[in-house]
Amino acid sequence: MKKILDIKNLTIDFNTYAGRIQAVRNISFSLYEGEILAIVGESGCGKTVTSKSIMRLLPEATAQVNNHSEIIFDGQNVLKLKGKELKKIRGDEIAMIFQDPMSALNPTMKVGHQVAESLLIHTKITKKQAFKEAVQMLKLVGLPMAEKRAHEYPNQYSGGMRQRAMIAIALACKPKILIADEPTTALDVTIQAQIMKLIKTLQADLNTAIILVTHDLGIVAGMADRIQVMYAGQIIERGVREELFYDPQHPYTWALLRSVPKVSQKSKSQLYSITGTPPDLLYPPKGCAFAERCEYCMPICRKDPPVETIISKTQSVNCWLQHKDAPKLNKPSGLKGVIHGQSL
């Protein structure tokens, strides 16, 4: 598969009154044509900041991207683009769907015109043609009575319909990359499943590569080709879906998997939760960022940051436990098949 996005040494700080928050700490990864790459982790781990930086959507007044960072798309560093060049990539080549469609859609503009606007900015067609295509896009994303609905405003839509409209806007120009940041968080479970199925179908039809940002491992199990787990601004484990679900290597990934409810779980049994809180990224710890919460923590973990250990061609982990000199440990039981009902 062809590599279409290459992120190297991405480091992003936020200047706040309290000091400098190190939100993303020297991460590197690639995205390949037509794949779905999931970035998972709890709130504040840096996954949304990473995805917004690809679109250059971070607030310039407070966000500071380190000079050594690179986001290479189509042979050019997105971080260096300005004006027209940036506008061409944004929306045309790389598009994004957000968590909350209501705040992303323009409440004063008919939905059909909003989809058409995206086409008018990036292609040379007439307003009439653009509106016609917008209706086609709304049909493609499964909006019922698309011709009529195209003339309505976002407040006349249900939550699921708004999210479909957002997807239509994002995909109108057939981007090479779609970034979906928690695309179903605001929706109820049945609509969530429909939207995720829609994204997967469109991805297969249009061969769009997707970066799926989520904390929902159920969605990841059903959708992702590859997964990278983020914690405290760093990627701590990565691998293809089967590796991450059937042979995870990092205690944080184990804990994430254990905290997913199981169908076999007794109704009154307590759900597993990860004790403690992530570190304060104003002052990230010297060693492993997960050390305070890790039940396998060793003296070296607090002293030195764990180095990357390659597990296979596709899987790697940053944890001293997997280092060749670390003591051999049994992983907690009950990890295999922890996500029930998913097509693994």
**Residues found near ligand SF4 in the complex (CB under 6 A):** 250-251, 288, 290-291, 294, 296-298, 301, 306, 319-321
Q: CB of residue 123 vs ligand SF4: minimum separation in angstroms?
A: 49
**One-letter amino acid for residue 225 of the chain:** D
- Nearer to ligand SF4 among residue 53 and residue 234 (C-beta): 234
- Nearer to ligand SF4 among residue 14 and residue 254 (C-beta): 254
Q: CB of residue 40 vs ligand SF4: minimum separation in angstroms?
A: 16
Q: Which of 77, 95, 117 is nearest to 175 (CA)?
A: 95
- Nearer to ligand SF4 among residue 48 and residue 253 (C-beta): 253
**Which residue, chain included where needed, has tokens 């011709």?**
147
- Sheet order of strands, 308-310 included: 94-97, 177-181, 209-214, 36-40, 226-231, 234-240, 316-318, 308-310
Q: CB of residue 307 vs ligand SF4: minimum separation in angstroms?
A: 10
- Nearer to ligand SF4 among residue 55 and residue 291 (C-beta): 291
Give the Cα separation of 14 and 59 in Å (integer). 9
- Nearer to ligand SF4 among residue 51 and residue 309 (C-beta): 309
CA angle 321, 315, 208 (to 5 degrees): 145
- Nearer to ligand SF4 among residue 56 and residue 250 (C-beta): 250
- Nearer to ligand SF4 among residue 261 and residue 276 (C-beta): 276
- Nearer to ligand SF4 among residue 269 and residue 273 (C-beta): 273
Q: CB of residue 6 vs ligand SF4: minimum separation in angstroms?
A: 27
For 31, phi then psi, to 5°, come to -125, 135
Q: CB of residue 295 vs ligand SF4: minimum separation in angstroms?
A: 8
Q: CB of residue 318 vs ligand SF4: minimum separation in angstroms?
A: 7
Q: CB of residue 199 vs ligand SF4: minimum separation in angstroms?
A: 32
Q: CB of residue 218 vs ligand SF4: minimum separation in angstroms?
A: 24
* Torsion over CA: 293, 296, 300, 306 (sign): negative
